[in-house]
């Protein structure tokens, strides 16, 4: 009698990679960012990520036990490296605020081009009534860097290097609005007869022109 070979089950441990695709864990992170950009962090669940990935919830839970653990991965692997690319700007341009904010605009445009999720996620969460994402960010970041930037802006104003009409707490949001916001809209403007020409170079040039004229101390 011919007996069939015993069926070989999958060995326990790490689930297999997505066939012909990127590493499954990174794929799930990308899907999570897409969902957060569209629905917001509060409405993005592990079950929803599983559905979008075509996986079972149990398979997703292998990688991320909780949504908080997922946020930690998003922060450590996507947000923290992005923030690191902004380090040193104010120190390197300590005596020239226009140069500092011009360089900040350049880097924001570059980062937004490399990470298209940045604008939809951060602007969406900035306007969201749910503070869960902001609470997680606050827990990981604290206020120390923000305080340093605001204190630097105030010092520049006191030294007469920066317009006193500027609100230090709003200036970073202004730079984001001049750079990351239009970078997020480029794809929607592709067929727009008035804005179809806009690209990263145009956005950078425009932002620097606005900042150079708007933040410098007015001539006496």
Give the residue with greater pLDDT, 31 vs 8: 31
* Whether the model pTM is above 0.75: yes
What confidence tens digit (pLDDT) does each residue in 78-103 have? 999 999 999 999 999 999 999 999 99
Question: Which pLDDT band holds residue 220 (cuts at 50, 70, 90)?
Answer: low
Same topology between domain 20-77 and domain 85-215? no
66 touches 74 (CB < 8 A): no
pLDDT > 70: what percent of the chain?
Answer: 88
Question: Looking at residue 4, what is its pLDDT?
Answer: 47
153 touches 166 (CB < 8 A): yes
Classified by CATH at the fold level, domain 85-215 comes out as Tetracycline Repressor; domain 2 (1.10.357)
Question: Looking at residue 81, what is its pLDDT?
Answer: 95
Question: Looking at residue 177, what is its pLDDT?
Answer: 96
Cα-based angle 208, 210, 216 (whole degrees, multiple of 5): 90
CA dihedral 122→128→134→135, nearest 10 degrees, is -160
Spans of all domains in the chain? 20-77, 85-215
CATH 2.60.40.10 fits 20-77, yes or no: no
Closest CA to 119 of 69, 82, 164: 82
Question: Which pLDDT band holds residue 20 (cuts at 50, 70, 90)?
Answer: very low
When pLDDT is averaged across residues 54-74 and rounded to a whole number, the result is: 94
| Long-range contacts formed by 61-67: CB under 8 A, 24+ apart | 62/14, 62/15, 63/24, 63/25, 63/28, 64/28
């Amino acid at each position: 009698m011919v007996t069939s070979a015993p069926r070989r089950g999958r060995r326990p441990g790490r689930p297999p990679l997505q066939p012909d695709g990127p590493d499954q864990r990174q794929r799930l992170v990308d899907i999570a960012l897409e969902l957060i950009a569209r629905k917001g962090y509060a409405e993005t669940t592990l079950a929803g990520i599983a559905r979008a990935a075509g996986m079972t919830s149990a398979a997703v839970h292998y990688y991320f036990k909780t949504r908080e653990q997922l946020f930690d991965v998003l922060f450590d692997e996507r947000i923290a490296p992005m923030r690191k690319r902004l380090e040193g700007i104010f120190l390197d341009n300590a005596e020239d605020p226009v140069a500092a904010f011009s360089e900040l605009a350049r880097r924001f445009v570059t980062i937004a081009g490399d990470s298209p999720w940045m604008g939809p996620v951060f602007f969406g969460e900035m306007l969201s009534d749910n503070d869960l994402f902001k609470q997680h960010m606050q827990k990981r970041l604290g206020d120390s860097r923000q305080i340093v930037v605001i204190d630097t802006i105030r010092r520049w104003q006191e030294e007469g290097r920066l317009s006193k009409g500027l609100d230090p707490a709003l200036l970073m949001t202004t730079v984001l609005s001049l750079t990351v916001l239009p970078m997020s809209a480029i794809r929607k403007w592709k067929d727009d007869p008035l804005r179809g020409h806009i690209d990263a170079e145009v956005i950078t040039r425009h932002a620097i022109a606005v900042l150079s004229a708007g933040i410098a101390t007015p001539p006496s």
